[in-house]
Chains A and B, each alone.
Chain A
Amino acid sequence: MATDLPPGMVLLDFIRYQQHLVGTKIGCREGDCGACTILTGELNNDELQYHTVTSCLMPIGNAAGKHIVTIEGINHKEGLNPIQQAMADAGATQCGFCTPGFVMSLAGFCLDDKPATKENAIASIDGNICRCTGYKSIEKAAVDIVEKLKDKKEAIPFVTEQKILPEYFSGIKERLQRLRESINADTLKDVAGIKETPHFVGGGTDLYVQKHDEMKDATIRFLLHQPELNGIAKEDNKCIIGPSATVSDLLHSAIIHEAFPDFHRYAKLVSSTPIRNMATIAGNFINASPIGDFTIFFLALDAQISLTPNPSPGERGKRTLPLRKLYKGYKQLDKTPEEHIDKIWFELPGKNTLFHFEKVSKRTHLDIASVNSAIHLKMNGDVIDDAGISAGGVGPVPLYLQKTSEFLKGKKISEEIIHETIKTAQTEISPISDARGSKEYKRLLLRQLIKAHFLKLFPGILAESVLG
């Protein structure tokens, strides 16, 4: 469908108040409850892929060319589909307000190419909050659905044949192909003649939380689907990341997986499936939260960014900057409002490189860190050749711990060195007390996370002695 409504309006409002499809619920408008979960289908190299997203944070502008599916779109004319039946049978719905969101997330799971395991089924509902059931019944429903998918090979034919989802899903790929040809490639590019500096929008998961009211009628440049800002590639020993790559893109990248075998464990600690499907890496950097997880991650790797002014004057106006130089003060950046990130890169870890990321928050999943930290060590035998360590939540900006990193160079790991590392780190931080913890807690927690880094990277160290 086409609409003249402002592209900055969130899909949730469009769905509920323009289309009057009220099965999609509102619980928070902050991406934190999942009641508004919908599916988006898009063509990726001619493959039709579906993702769950929270419609409260997704601007209409990011929906162009996609198949948008609400709960109404997965209902059979009559009766329940197997997902719904499983939920009903398990008693997984009480007040029912969260339920459409859960059903949509599970529909997303059915459409995913990941193996249909219980673990993946539960992971698919990691962004849905239910205040009534205590989740056990929902878990039961999820297991039931996994059972129904055990013969799944290709998702879309399977779910339509098995009548899990309506038959029309099988024709969507073709319809999207036709749609792609028909929409003007420039529809969402800058509207000519605009004088104001546009808001850059990536996934919108930060902007629509912070500045919800302003965004609807704002002048926006949508960056999410610009091809030149996407992709994850390897060039020599460098990894080049498009600023609009989402966390989920990273999760699916073989390059990232090879470089960081534990990446999926780290990513599991960051937001939720629907948020990860939207959240971009550049958005995380520019958001400039002192506890941005990917900022902390890439700081330890000493990632570099390239900035382009707007409108782009070509290569001339570009400049590059180490990520750690971007942050000048609380939410203050070495970046003009006209500039946007066009590229991110870092040196890929070699054979002798060790890397680890730690995060602790009040709730382990779908929560912002109290403190997070990443460490990156280049080893020469048992000597540290080069080191980078970062920490979030312990200062006004995401911190690259310069002195601590320096200190580690040339050292051999021992209990004493760990002790000294912690001491040095404590001199570089200045945590404050807030809703995520007291400053004393954050100091203690950083100490613990540094210990955790070493315990993880040097399994020979005895937990006994380090735990103290």
Chain B
Amino acid sequence: MKNIDSYTHVRGESVYLDDIPVVNGTLYAAVFDSPVAHGKIKSLDIREAAAMHGVVKIFTAKDVPGDNQIGGIIPDEELLASTHVHFCGMPIALVVAETDEAARVALKKIKVVIESLPVITDPREAKEKGELIIPSRTFQIGDTINAWHQCEYVFEGRADTNGQEHLYIETQGAYSLPQENSAIRIYSSTQGPTAVQRTTARVLNIPMHQVEVDTTRLGGGFGGKEDQATTWGVMCALATYHLKKPVKYSLQRMEDMRMTGKRHPYSSDFKIGLNKDLKIVAYEATFYQNAGAAADLSPAVMERTLFHCTNSYFVPNVKATAYSCRTNLPPNTAFRGFGGPQGMFVIEAAIAKAADALGISASVIQQKNLLQTGDEFPYGQKAESEANECWDKAVELYDLEKLQKEISDFNHSNKQYKKGMALMPICFGISFTKTMMNQARALVHVYTDGSVGVSTGAVEMGQGVNTKMLQVATNIFSIDPAKVKINSTNTYRIANTSPSAASATADLNGKATEIACKEILKRLKKVAAEEFKTSEENIDLKDEWVYANGEKTMWEWKRLVFETYFRRISLSEHGHYTPPDIHYDLKKEKGHPFAYHVYGTVIITVTIDCLRGIYEFDSVKVVHDFGNSMNTIIDIGQCEGGIVQGIGWMTMEEIVYDKEGKLLSNALSTYKVPDIYSVPKEIDIHFLATQKDNLAIFRSKAVGEPPLLYGIGAYFALRNAVKAFNPSADIPYDAPMTPEKVLMSLYHPFKK
């Protein structure tokens, strides 16, 4: 089934935040943000700006009626800076004017004097200076100290990954409207409507029931609107609260890039030990996460780095420590993979280093150490592994041996062009690692004409979750898809939602929808059973007809619905779901945090032009563990999109801050994401269909984040290609592998 929004999407009729018709009297907001990365505000002069034509009011920290605080996990981030600024782009004042233009003109007239304080941009430096967001955490299994003796080979090194700009094509934004009795409705481009509601209530010091947050869809999120959409919703609400006027703020791209956080850059140290059979005996890693200036979601992201530090491998002795380091960059945040990719990159670097030193292909070590069912992760959960199935299938289906030979032949006969290949197995845990967040609710109404309205806590941002919700309802009721409508995500209809994140949205909300639909179905069947004088088990609904004892009756769906209503039986249900068996003990750092894991293997091939240092990806061949995919179009789309985004992170997407913490890659002209010409020529995706039972909705495994991990293979493929040209190249494990880094390593050392 196609994405149910396709029709309006391709006609340009889908409504996004900036498309909502504005109400008369709407005012426009714009944020004045800090020009320096760290300092003390000596003075803030808004007089000239406030007096400008069209300016209605300028708000500062003083105008916050409640708690000037937006930090979700830790209250360490002010909505508007009161005395200090901690990053370039930190909001200081909010201008509200009659037009968008007037607001922006006024911004330029605000004068702020800031006494500069030392700026830290490097996480290792932050750690040295004791600037930690939370105390460090360590995951441990076995005993690494004693394990090193059993190792034949031990390698140490350092690995770095840069951040990544989300670059959702729709920028952040919100639109708030005053309601009677001082309530506020906020339209928000957010992945977490409840976060916007909760934070607005806290900042304005009003109860949550006064704040209605409504989200129809996002023009992309990727994690960037999980926590960081909140700011803009609250800003608009603050102005609406004071002015009793509708207030809108749709960020310009440069504002968005400058003021919002990104994927966390990490700098890490590793030590890996193998025995003579190339089994990994011990692994140690220390992760320095660049959290930026405030906690945001960093502690949770850091946790996932630790959960995924051994990727798809079984290692009996592991010690992994992570530090969340406070720097003067915009608070970094969720991004597809949520710290997992950063952790996996490091063990892949460790394996590559070992393979290089031993003169073998990394795939030999990778293959020998894949997880088996029953193997224990460092955090205590036992694997239900598909790792070997995926790997073996990929090797066989795509004929690895032949590929390897083709590449080596090509490299023998070509000087200017070299090919490189890498395999990358993946393993990703599904569930919010914070156990409490694994809950969801759905509200299903069947109307008397037989049409169905479904509301859930899931936010549609392109991942196709609404389509999957619709499939759940149509499937259970066995009715035509046209009879079902998925409504906007609204905090008045569905309360206390978890954000749409962690790839778990379809699972959690789908199950809640399933529960609600099944409950209604039960009542419907009961009515039919009475009518046709049989038991409920003998009633079936098929293609909008009621069957009793296997025979088609005179009742079609609509009649059944109406008869149920006539008998004063509820046609509505609010379903609540929470996955069973999930627990985690923070003190021991052990438990069963994930409902299940998703596995896969990719083979990536790249060709580099050794004259110019540029490259093209020839092919990406995947075997992916979808479980029993409930929507292959959507799942392939998630896979392809994730792969390309992952390759972007590893290749051309380069975030550049200067030493003063100013973002240099601050526009689409300086921050490049993949375009149609830079995607792999070929992407093959093979479904490893498994019939095993799992906790996914309709056994269709979550697919949002895992495919991004395949992109990591791109880095290692490039490295291998460079080595084919310059075997002595000393290439640091430092992603992204931009054309610059490729050329510099091809000709390392370069003398002019």
Contacts and interface: CB of A to CB of B under 8 A. Distances in A.
B675 A126 contact: yes
Contact of A132 (B13, B220, B612, B683): B220
Given A25-B169, A126-B675, A362-B654, A440 B6 contact: no
Contacts of A245: none
A88 B752 contact: no
A255 to B, nearest CB: 28
Contact of B11 (A80, A363, A467): A80
Given A25-B170, A434-B664, A128 B16 contact: no
Contacts of A360: 612-614, 739
A7 B637 CA distance: 42
B169 A95 contact: yes
A344 interface: no
Contact of B676 (A96, A126, A440, A455): A126
Nearest to A449: B612
B462 A94 contact: yes
A385 to B, nearest CB: 27
A223 interface: no
Contact of B640 (A23, A28, A80, A133): A133
Given A131-B168, A132-B641, A88 B612 contact: no
Given A25-B219, A98-B169, A443-B752, A80 B10 contact: yes
A362 B739 contact: yes
B740 A441 contact: yes
Given A445-B743, A447-B752, A135 B679 contact: yes
Interface string B678-690: 1100010000000
B2 interface: yes
Nearest to B220: A95
B566 interface: no
Given A23-B11, A463-B416, A363 B169 contact: no
A424 to B, nearest CB: 12
A88 B664 contact: no
A366 B674 CA distance: 10
Contacts of A447: 752
A70 B11 CA distance: 10
Interface in A108-145: 122, 125-126, 128-139
B253 A29 contact: yes
A445 B741 CA distance: 11
Query: Taking each of B11, B170, B221, which has the highest tally of chain A beta carbons within 10 Å of its own beta carbon?
Result: B11
B750 A362 contact: no
Interface stretch (A30-38, A58-66, A156-164, A168-176): A30-38
Interface stretch (B112-120, B206-214, B665-673): B665-673
A367 interface: yes
Nearest to B647: A134
A452 B645 contact: no
Interface in B605-662: 610-614, 633-634, 636-637, 640-645, 652, 654, 656
Contacts of A137: 636-637, 640
Contacts of B656: 435
Given A448-B743, A455-B611, A135 B676 contact: yes
Given A23-B12, A463-B415, A94 B637 contact: yes
Interface in B668-725: 668-670, 672-679, 683
Contact of B669 (A139, A209, A426): A209
Interface in A29-57: 29-30, 32-33, 35
A91 B2 contact: yes
B679 A27 contact: no
B671 to A, nearest CB: 8
Interface residues of A, number: 84
Contacts, number: 238
Q: Which 4 A-B pairs have the closest CB atoms?
A: A23-B12, A95-B462, A97-B219, A96-B9
Contacts of A196: none
Contacts of B739: 360-362, 370
Interface in B496-533: none
Chain A contact residues, majority secondary structure = loop
A22 B20 CA distance: 9
Given A32-B669, A441-B744, A444-B743, A94 B3 contact: yes
Contacts of B670: 435-436
A61 to B, nearest CB: 18
A380 interface: no
A31 to B, nearest CB: 8
B551 to A, nearest CB: 38
Interface string A422-456: 00001000000011111011011101110110010
A278 to B, nearest CB: 16
Contacts of B18: 16, 22, 26
A213 interface: yes
A364 B677 contact: yes
Interface in A172-190: none
Interface in B60-107: 101, 104-105
B404 interface: no
A137 B679 CA distance: 12
B676 A128 contact: yes
Contacts of A133: 637, 640-641, 644
Contact of B253 (A28, A85, A91, A96): A28
A455 B417 CA distance: 14
Given A75-B12, A91-B636, A97-B219, 14 more contacts: A23-B12, A25-B16, A25-B169, A33-B169, A80-B10, A87-B6, A91-B2, A96-B10, A96-B219, A100-B12, A132-B637, A134-B679, A135-B676, A137-B637
A154 interface: no
Nearest to B414: A463
A315 B344 CA distance: 69
Contact of A129 (B3, B8, B14, B668): B668
A150 to B, nearest CB: 22
A368 interface: yes
A295 interface: no
